[in-house]
Amino acid sequence: MSDHPAPLPEAWAELSRLDAKSRRIVDVARECFVQVGFEETTMVQIADGAEVGVATVYRRFGTKSAIVRYALMAEAERVGDIIYEAMQRSAGPVGALAEMFSAFVSEASAPRLLTRNLRTSGAAGQMADFVTGDEFVDHGRIGVARFIAYWQQRGELGDFDPDVVAELFVRLTMSFIANPAGVLPLHDADAARDFARQYLAPLLFPHAIR
Work out the average pLDDT over 55-67: 93
Which pLDDT does position 54 carry in this prediction?
Answer: 96
208 vs 148: which has the higher pLDDT: 148
- Number of CB atoms found within 10 A of residue 182's CB: 9
Name the CA dihedral angle for 154, 156, 162, 167, rounded to a multiple of 10 degrees. Answer: -130
DSSP designation for 209: P
pLDDT band at 9 (very low <50, low <70, confident <90, very high): low
pTM, rounded to two decimals: 0.76
Query: Do residues 77 and 12 make contact, with C-beta atoms less than 8 angstroms apart?
Result: yes
Distance between CA 175 and CA 181 in Å, rounded?
10
Q: pLDDT of 101-113, one tens digit each? A: 888 877 776 666 6
Query: Do residues 93 and 102 make contact, with C-beta atoms less than 8 angstroms apart?
Result: no
Does residue 66 surpass a pLDDT of 70? yes
- Start-end of H helices in the chain: 13-16, 20-36, 43-50, 54-61, 64-87, 93-108, 114-119, 124-131, 134-153, 162-178, 189-195
Distance between CA 167 and CA 139 in Å, rounded?
10
